[in-house]
Amino acid sequence: MASASEPRKPDGQKPAALTIDGLSLEFPTYAGAIKALDDVTIEIGNSEIVGLVGESGCGKSVTTMAATRLLPEGRYRVTSGSIRLFGRDPFAMDETELQDVRGKLVSTIFQEPMNALNPTIRIGKQLVGVIQRHEAVSREEAERTARGILRDMLIAEPERIMRAYPFELSGGMRQRVLIAMAFSCNPGLIIADEPTTALDVTVQAVILRLILDRAKRTGTSVVFISHNIAVVSQLCDRLYVMYAGRIVEAGPTRAVLESPQHPYTQALLRCLPERVEPKAELEAIPGTVPNLLDPPQGCFYRPRCPEANEQCFAKPPSMAPAPDHLVACWRRETIQPSMISEAQQ
Among 84, 133, 254, 270, indicate the residue that binds other proteins (CB under 8 A).
133
Q: Is 292 in the site for other proteins (CB under 8 A)?
A: yes
- Of 43-51, 154-162, 163-171, 279-287, the window that binds other proteins (rule: CB under 8 A) is 163-171
Q: Which of residues 174-213 bind other proteins (CB under 8 A)?
A: 178, 181-182, 194
Q: Pick the binder of other proteins from 3, 13, 120, 336 (CB under 8 A).
A: 120
Closer residue to other proteins (CB): 94 or 277: 94
Q: Is 271 in the site for other proteins (CB under 8 A)?
A: no
Q: x/- site string to other proteins, residues 72 to 111, per CB under 8 A?
A: -----------------------x--xxxxxxx--xx-xx
Binding region for other proteins (CB under 8 A) out of 4-12, 16-24, 25-33, 333-341: 25-33
Rounded Cα–Cα distance for residues 170 and 124 (Å):
16
Compute the least distance from the CB of residue 309 to other proteins, in Å: 28
Give least dist CB 211 to other proteins, A. 16
Encode burial over 199-211: b for 16+ CB neighbours within 10 A, e otherwise. Answer: beeebbebbbebb
**Is 135 near other proteins (CB under 8 A)?**
no
# residues contacting other proteins (CB under 8 A):
53
- Is position 136 an interface residue for other proteins (rule: CB under 8 A)? no
Closest among 2, 44, 1, 54 to 20, alpha carbons compared: 44
CA distances 250 to 20, 44, 240, Å, are 14, 12, 4
By CB under 8 A, which span of 40-48, 142-150, 229-237, 290-298 interacts with other proteins?
Answer: 290-298
The answer to the question of residue 291 lying near other proteins (CB under 8 A) is: yes
Q: Scan residues 32-71 and list those touching other proteins (CB under 8 A).
A: 34, 36, 56-62, 65, 68, 70-71
- Decide: is 229 part of the binding site for other proteins (CB under 8 A): no
Q: Does 167 bind other proteins (CB under 8 A)?
A: yes
**With respect to other proteins, which residue has the nearer C-beta, 18 or 322?**
18
Positions in the binding site for other proteins (CB under 8 A): 27, 29-31, 34, 36, 56-62, 65, 68, 70-71, 95, 98-104, 107-108, 110-112, 114-121, 129-130, 133-134, 165, 167-168, 178, 181-182, 194, 289, 291-293
